[in-house]
């Protein structure tokens, strides 16, 4: 109880509250501009938090995470251009609503559903995290090895179109994490004579390069392609204040959709590697399945906005379950948060609940407060953001590119890290182009050190009898079986898709 009170007091101090408000404002802006995401904002602005106390730093990044998740719906509803990948499902009904003169109602439904879904997920996080951390304290090297291996499997299989490409990207991330000193023998590995690489490849320049600068390159390529092709005709932008507002009784009439999608998003967020995009589409599908008028979906119904928004916002709270209890990031954003934790001397995992209980309860409180900040700033700033999303791409991406370069150099004061960022920006650009998941790469890079130490310790403890030792560890055996099942299931699913495509292609050619 003392830790809970102390955590609440720390989170409601002036510093964390201002950090939450600033983070939400930045997050909504970054989410609203098409092509920019909350993960990109966290990668760019994480260096600004290194001089702050741990809770204030985390509060700022959580604010960005919460605001960015909602911000993507603004451009999706007003322009039919999702500001972030998870907002694509929101555009299905949000844009038709805005075209029919209900833009304000659609935006407010997206905001209210996002806040409601996030609050429910945070409540479940508070109830689940502490008991689960006590179970996680029993994890040894064998359990951690197969938990991380299971996370790798999910990431590789579900973040791209091909499991093989996902595994390749994840393995490349693990390989890059091997650069530096061996954790057990302290001998240098793959440093190629560069003293700067003895500490390993830095996470921040890699993340900024792959998330920020690579997206700038992709935007430049898209602009070049558009210039060569005939310009598309675009409809006039819609004002965010058009149409009536959303009354409380109308919102409450959709409580079943919000509750169902919130539970779906929380569960999906707790599974590593799946992410908010899948949660949004599953939430949209469930809203349509349980609707009394499913045929109206896609023509402009509020349930089609409430479902995906509640689901993708609930992913935020759900993703903190594996992050805080096991130290395993559920997505790219939480992988970047781990980097901030480590900079401030905090190692996420079950032990942090005993060593830093004040901080954990402070983070729980920050998550709750950020929801209400998201609500207030979203209501006040929706008109401003609706004008920002209409800015030309060359303006926003020029600023982002300059921020990437100056941010890395200012935070590290090293030209070597600048070169690393540029190299990985090129790698990230080609990974996107050829459908190799950079999410799998980053999570593989972040989890590789823990996986290596756990795996090598598991080999030493087992003393050659891997199967016999595994049979004595039921939790490790369970995750081993789940990993094998996941690999077989995903591989079989991909085989069926290829079989269907190979059978439909000849029939189409015969018809021609």
| Gyration radius (Cα) of the chain, Å | 23
CA 344 to chain centre: 21
Q: How many CB atoms within 10 Å of residue 510?
A: 7
Residue 250 has pLDDT above 80, yes or no: yes
Residue 221 has pLDDT above 50, yes or no: yes
Q: What's the rounded mean pLDDT across residues 171-191?
A: 87
Query: How confident is residue 391, by pLDDT bands cut at 50, 70 and 90?
Result: low
Helices (H), 327-391: 332-343, 352-355, 357-388
Tokens of 62: 């959580």
Q: Which of 56-60, 225-229, 287-291, 374-378 has the lowest mean pLDDT?
A: 225-229
CB 357 within 8 A of CB 7: yes
Tokens of 268: 């999906």
Residue 147 has pLDDT above 90, yes or no: no
Q: What's the rounded mean pLDDT across residues 420-430?
A: 90
For 455, phi and psi rounded to 5 degrees?
Answer: -65, -45
Query: How confident is residue 450, by pLDDT bands cut at 50, 70 and 90?
Result: confident
Query: How confident is residue 158, by pLDDT bands cut at 50, 70 and 90?
Result: low
Q: What's the rounded mean pLDDT across residues 349-363?
A: 83
Tokens of 234: 């675009």
Residue 8 has pLDDT above 90, yes or no: no
Percent of the chain whose predicted confidence (pLDDT) is above 70: 86
Query: How confident is residue 355, by pLDDT bands cut at 50, 70 and 90?
Result: confident
Residues of 174-197 as b/e, b for ≥16 C-beta within 10 angstroms?
bebbbbbeeeeeeebeeeeeeebb
234 conformational bin, left if phi > 0, alpha if psi -120 to 50, beta if neither = beta
DSSP-assigned states of every residue in 114-134: HHHHHHHHHHHHHHHHHHHHH
Query: 3-state secondary structure string, 82-119?
Result: CCCHHHHHHHHHHHHHHHCCCHHHHHHHHHHHHHHHHH
Helices 255-270, 103-136: inter-axial angle, 10-degree rounding: 40
**Residue 29, pLDDT score:** 83
**Residue 509, pLDDT score:** 47
Does the predicted TM-score (pTM) go above 0.75?
no
Q: How far apart are CA 177 and CA 347, in angstroms?
A: 18
Helices 393-412, 415-433: inter-axial angle, 10-degree rounding: 140
**Residue 17, pLDDT score:** 93
327 conformational bin, left if phi > 0, alpha if psi -120 to 50, beta if neither = left
Residue 487 has pLDDT above 60, yes or no: yes
Name the percent of the chain in helix, strand, coil, to the closest 5: 75, 0, 20
Higher pLDDT pick, 78 / 272? 78
CA 359 to chain centre: 22
**Residue 235, pLDDT score:** 45
CB 29 within 8 A of CB 71: yes
**Residue 154, pLDDT score:** 67
Cα–Cα distances (Å) from 6 to 10, 28, 363, 372, in that order, read 6, 30, 11, 21
Query: How confident is residue 322, by pLDDT bands cut at 50, 70 and 90?
Result: confident
**Residue 268, pLDDT score:** 77
Query: How confident is residue 233, by pLDDT bands cut at 50, 70 and 90?
Result: very low
| DSSP label of 180 | E
Q: What is the mean pLDDT of the chain?
A: 80
For 313, phi and psi rounded to 5 degrees?
Answer: -75, -30
Q: What's the rounded mean pLDDT across residues 428-457?
A: 83
Query: How confident is residue 90, by pLDDT bands cut at 50, 70 and 90?
Result: confident
CB 249 within 8 A of CB 302: no
Of 137-146, 166-175, 333-342, 394-403, give the range with the top mean pLDDT: 166-175
Q: What's the rounded mean pLDDT across residues 256-263?
A: 89
**Residue 175, pLDDT score:** 92
Q: Which of 455-459, 493-497, 501-505 has the lowest mean pLDDT?
A: 501-505
Higher pLDDT pick, 269 / 157? 269
Q: How far apart are CA 70 and CA 433, in angstroms?
A: 27
């Amino acid at each position: 109880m003392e830790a809970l009170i102390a955590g609440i007091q720390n989170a409601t101090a002036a510093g964390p509250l201002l950090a939450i408000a600033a983070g939400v404002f930045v997050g909504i802006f970054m989410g609203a501009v098409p092509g920019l995401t909350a993960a990109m904002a966290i990668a760019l602005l994480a260096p600004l938090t290194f001089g702050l106390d741990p809770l204030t730093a985390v509060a700022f990044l959580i604010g960005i995470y919460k605001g960015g998740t909602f911000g993507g719906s603004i451009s999706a509803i007003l322009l039919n251009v999702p500001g972030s990948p998870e907002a694509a499902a929101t555009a299905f009904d949000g844009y038709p609503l805005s075209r029919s003169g209900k833009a304000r109602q659609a935006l407010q439904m997206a905001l209210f559903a996002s806040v409601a879904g996030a609050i429910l997920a945070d409540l479940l996080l508070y109830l689940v995290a502490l008991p689960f951390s006590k179970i996680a304290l029993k994890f040894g090297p064998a359990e951690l090895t197969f938990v991380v291996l299971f996370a790798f499997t999910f990431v590789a299989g579900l973040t791209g179109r091909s499991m093989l490409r996902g595994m390749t990207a994840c393995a490349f991330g693990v390989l890059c994490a091997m650069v530096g000193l061996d954790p057990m023998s302290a001998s240098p590995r793959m440093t190629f004579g560069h003293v700067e690489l003895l500490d390993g490849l830095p996470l921040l320049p890699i993340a900024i390069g792959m998330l920020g600068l690579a997206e700038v390159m992709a935007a430049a390529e898209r602009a070049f392609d558009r210039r060569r092709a005939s310009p598309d005709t675009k409809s006039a932008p819609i004002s965010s204040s058009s149409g009536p507002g959303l009354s409380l009784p109308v919102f409450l009439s959709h409580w079943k959709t919000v509750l169902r999608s919130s539970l779906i998003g929380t569960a999906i967020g707790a599974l590593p590697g799946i992410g908010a995009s899948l949660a949004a589409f599953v939430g949209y599908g469930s809203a349509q399945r349980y609707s009394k008028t499913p045929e109206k979906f896609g023509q402009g119904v509020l349930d089609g906005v409430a479902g995906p928004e509640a689901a993708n916002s609930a992913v935020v709270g759900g993703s903190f379950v594996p992050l805080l209890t096991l130290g395993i990031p559920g997505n790219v954003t939480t992988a970047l948060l781990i980097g901030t934790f480590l900079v401030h001397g905090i190692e996420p995992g079950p032990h942090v609940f005993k060593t830093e209980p004040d901080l954990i309860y402070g983070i729980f409180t920050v998550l709750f407060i950020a929801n209400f900040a998201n609500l207030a700033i979203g209501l006040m700033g929706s008109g401003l953001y609706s004008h920002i999303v209409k800015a030309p791409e060359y303006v926003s991406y020029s600023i982002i590119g300059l921020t990437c370069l100056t941010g890395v150099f200012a935070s590290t004061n090293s030209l070597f890290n600048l070169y690393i960022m540029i190299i990985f920006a090129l790698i990230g650009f080609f990974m996107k182009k050829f459908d190799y998941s950079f999410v799998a790469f980053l999570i593989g890079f972040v989890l590789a050190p823990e996986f290596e130490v756990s795996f090598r310790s598991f080999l030493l403890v087992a003393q050659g009898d891997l199967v016999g030792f595994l049979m004595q560890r039921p939790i490790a055996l369970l995750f081993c079986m789940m990993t094998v099942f996941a690999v077989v299931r995903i591989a079989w699913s991909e085989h069926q898709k290829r079989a269907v495509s190979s059978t439909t292609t000849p029939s189409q050619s015969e018809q021609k």
